[in-house]
Amino acid sequence: MRLPIHPPLPGQHSPTKVEVTDHNFLHQGFMQFSVIRLRHEKFAGGMTPVIERDVCHRGHAVAIVLYDPHADRLVMVEQFRIGACAAGVNPWMLEFVAGMVKEGEDPMEVAIREAEEEAGCVPRDVRLVYSMMPSPGGCTEVVEILAGLVDSTGIGGIHGLEEEVEDIRVHLVPAETAIALLDENRVPSGFTLLGLSWFARHRDRLRADAGVI
């Protein structure tokens, strides 16, 4: 996985020392949950007292911005999300295709496979856009956001793997509509919000590279 290098700002010194005194796993299912006791170096020097933190171990994921530059539209998916349901938010969310990366898998290959499974398309010219952590205050998940070009002709319908109980509806969203949703604060999915922000800034270049403008 690829993440921004340390330190956060060029030319600055940041603490680097962490001492873990205890690490207990409480639950191991689709996600793992643990309690870690540790102390860490402080900005002004010295160490903190021992502190206790809960951690959700979620792993590595990918999401991919699927764009048809000739039709000027995005391929997006709608599906049920349990986290949103538990938070009291509408759980049927409009998102970019995404999936989990297992150990030893190549993130780009996973993104291409997920695009085919969830949206019925095979992207080309796939490139890395961002590496990000959705909730670094308590979750280990790293998401690589990629982008790829597609031909959206004939794409649509219901997709997903039955063995994973996936129920996914594909939408072809005009670029202007997607950007408007972003500006109207109607995109609660974090990786989708970030991918759309990138797309809004790079849309013209993507179209120019494809010979559309």
For 173, other C-beta atoms within 10 Å of its C-beta total 16
- Measured in degrees and rounded to the nearest 5, phi and psi for residue 59 equal 95, -150
Strand order in the sheet with 51-57: 18-28, 32-40, 51-57
Where would I find the H helices in 31-185? Answer: 82-86, 107-119, 175-183
Output the six-digit token pair for 200.
């809004």
Largest CA distance in the chain: 62
Q: Residue 24 in contact with residue 8, Cβ under 8 Å?
A: no
Q: Residue 3 in contact with residue 12, Cβ under 8 Å?
A: no
C-alpha pair distances (Å), 51 with each of 27, 47, 112, 196, 210: 20, 11, 41, 37, 53
Tokens 């509408």 sit on residue: 90
Q: Which residue numbers are catalytic?
A: 164
